[in-house]
Structure 1
Amino acid sequence: MDRFLSMEVFVTAVESGSFTVSATLLKMTPSMISKHISALEKRLGTPLLQRTTRRQHLTEAGQAYYEQCKQIMVHVAAAEAGVEAMSSHPKGMLRVSASVWFGSLTLAPLACDYLKVYPEVNLQLSLTDRYVDIVDEGYDVAIRIGNLADSSLIARKLSMFEVAICASPDYLQQYGIPQTPEDLLQHQCLGFSNWHSQGGWKQISPYLNISSALRFESDNSQALRVAAVKGLGIILTPRALLKADIEAGRLIELLPDYTPTARPIHAVYPRNRQSQPKLTTFVDYLISAFSETA
């Protein structure tokens, strides 16, 4: 078997956590995924993965081998990028990372439009609310929200990220309208669990501590939006997610004087990939699309 392909299969299996998911991503059968990993284990003379019916775990040797394989794949990608840069038109696989709400609501439609313009580009969009190391994990570009820490990555501003504080008319009729952040302590609030590290409701006031008394909490913004529309409580979430509900009157904006300040949205990517036509055209396309809607 092709040793490099087997290494790619192994890395994909580790990161996806499933032979079935890996098979879908690589357009193989699960049995072929298993054969590639078995071939590596036979060549190396040691198990790399321990599998049960529910989970798979890296062995100590597997962890070390995985880290080395990742580095090899990064170097190969850089070499291919140098060759691709000599091409006059975009082509090849573009791997993009974004948060769940932004990726599904805003980025996915723009990515589809981009692919129609550039038919030789294939795009893999990964949506997660965890921090992604795009170099170590092999992404070409990531969409980041908020002020960026100093790094070696190139950052290009796309737009501004705004949030809104809202509740349904039914909820407000039953519980009243809060006038200050402190009033929220007497209300039912909804919590986005992935925002705890960014302050959560303390974005409104550093003295507001309601995290232990949240009426409903989820790591999915859409689930919270549904809860707010159904009158379960007050929501703090991206304005773009609530725009249609606000315009239709299903949600009413609250506390406008206390809404957190808008933060920038950037596309970030490694410097060694900035000459890739598929990457530069994609980022330019996003900048253009956002400028038209500003």
Structure 2
Amino acid sequence: MELLNDMALFVEVVRAKGFRGAAEALRIPNSTLSRRIAVLEKAIGLRLLHRTTRKIELTEAGQIYFERCKRIVDEARLAHEQLGEMLAQPSGLLRASLPVDFAVTYLAPLIAEFANLYPGITFDFDLTPRRIDLVSEPFDVAIRMGESENSQLIARPLASLQAHLYASPGYLERSGEPRTPADLERHECLGMLKAGSGTWTLQDGTRTTQIRVGGRFTLNSVGMVRRLATLDQGIVLLPEEIVADEMANGRLRRVMPEWHGKPMPVYAITETRLLPAKTQRFIEFLRERLAQRR
């Protein structure tokens, strides 16, 4: 790479017909440019230039070397420009696994914006609850919520979502409104609970407490949890991004606003760090947009 850089400097010196003009065009010191050409001559074992106080002239070997360097440098510059265009407008099929409810509720507008920015990309999304295998299945990326499970995969953090407590006006009218974490033990609590019971970790900025909660429903669907909450079936602990629509239309409202759950990380999971442009742009776009919405 250093040899190619010195070849490019040599071409600029010849085209500018001197060190001063080339140094001004390249915005580097004249002495640095002269030293780099001397290093190049030593590296290839050829005298390329006759130097005088007024001008430079190519030696016979320098003329031959200049023609070859010019072709190599021009081809490298063209390849760099083409690569830049490819990175600016990536194309191809992007296969991604997305968390169902977060994708439908929150990511859909971002995905539509991304699709408009990059018309050359087509999409194949898997929104099933299953955990796809990035090693054996042809997916480019998986968006996951919660702690990363497989340390052998590459997890790139996108955002951290804050979970809060929500309930419907109907449920609160019927069952009363909890005021402290301990009050939740006598309420119907909806969540990803095992065997109808589980533990919620709540924080209020200075304190952290764990409350054992339970309910009549055992679920593995965030969408169903949210829907049952709007139907007056209990209290949920979910990120605001998941219940934004229900909050806007009044079907859910926040309870115990001073308390919140542990931050829930959102990751982009890939098998490798070497990503095609389409995948790299998708991850960068989601990270930027999710950060703007915080």
Instruction: Pick the structure with greater CA Rg.
Output: 2
1:87 Cα offset (Å): 5.0
| Conservation of the 8 A alpha-carbon contact between 2:106 and 2:242 | no
User: CA 1:91/1:143 → structure 2, altered by over 3 Å: closer, same or farther?
Assistant: same
Q: Aligned letter for 1:280?
A: Q
Provide the C-alpha distance between the structure 2 equivalents of 1:144 and 1:85, rounded to a whole number of angstroms: 30
Aligned counterparts, 1:239-258, within 5 A? 239-258=240-259
Matches within 5 A, 1:1-294: 88=87, 89-148=89-148, 151-192=151-192, 196=194, 200-204=198-202, 206=210, 208-210=212-214, 214-271=215-272, 273-274=274-275, 276-294=276-294
Conservation of the 8 A alpha-carbon contact between 1:215 and 1:233: no
Is the CA contact (8 Å cut-off) linking 1:201 and 1:236 kept in structure 2? no
Give the TM-score normalised by the residue count of structure 1.
Answer: 0.60
Counterpart CA distance in 2 for 1:157 and 1:142 is 12
Structure 1: state its 5+ residue gaps.
Answer: 1-83
Paired letter, 2:145: I
Residue 190 of structure 1: how far off its partner (Å):
2.1
Most deviating of 218-227 and 163-172: 218-227
Between the aligned partners of 1:131 and 1:208, the Cα distance in structure 2 is 28
Q: Quick one: distance in 1 between partners of 2:130 and 2:164? A: 22
Q: AA paired with 1:113?
A: E
Per the TM alignment, residue 208 of structure 1 is displaced from its structure 2 partner at its CA by: 0.5
SS of the equivalent of 1:110 reads helix
User: Alignment partner of 1:231: what SS?
Assistant: coil
Structure 1 or 2: more helix by fraction: 1
Task: Determine helix, strand or coil for the equivalent of 2:125.
Answer: strand
- Code of the residue aligned with 2:225 in structure 1: it is L
Please, which moves more after superposition, 283-292 or 244-253? 244-253
Alpha-carbon distance change, 108 to 250 in structure 1, aligned in 2, over 3 angstroms: closer
The CA deviation at 1:123 is: 0.9
User: 1:160 deviation in Å?
Assistant: 1.4
1:225–1:131 distance in 2 versus 1, CA, 3 Å: same
Change (3 A) 1:174 1:114: same
- How many residues are matched? 204
Tell me how far apart the structure 2 counterparts of residues 150 and 215 of structure 1 sit (CA, whole Å): 32
Q: Is the 8 A contact 1:163 1:237 kept in 2?
A: yes
- CA distance in 2 between counterparts of 1:163 and 1:127 reads 22
Residues 96, 141 of structure 1: 8 Å contact kept: yes
- C-alpha separation in 2, matches of 1:245 and 1:143: 23
Secondary structure of 1:138's partner?
coil
Partner of 2:12: none
Question: Residues of 1 paired with 2:191 and 2:264: CA distance?
Answer: 20
Where does the alignment leave 5 or more consecutive residues of structure 2 unmatched?
1-82, 203-208
8 A Cα contact 1:178 1:184, kept in partner: yes
Distance 1:156 1:131, change over 3 A: same
Q: Percent identity?
A: 31
Distance in 2 (alpha carbons) for counterparts of 1:200 and 1:128: 24
Once residues 116 and 242 of structure 2 are traced to their aligned partners in structure 1, the CA distance between those partners, rounded to angstroms, is 25
Taking a change above 3 Å as real, the CA distance of residues 283 and 234 of structure 1, as seen in their structure-2 partners, is same
Distance 1:121 1:257, change over 3 A: same
Q: Check the 8 A contact 1:145/1:264 in 2, yes or no.
A: yes
> Which whole-Å CA distance do the structure 2 matches of 1:149 and 1:170 have between them?
38
**Could you tell me the TM-score, scaled by structure 2's length?**
0.60
Cα separation, partners in 2 of 1:236 and 1:255, compared to 1, 3 Å: same
1 CA distance for matches of 2:144 and 2:121?
A: 22
Is the contact between residue 189 and residue 213 of structure 2 (CA under 8 Å) also seen in structure 1?
Answer: no
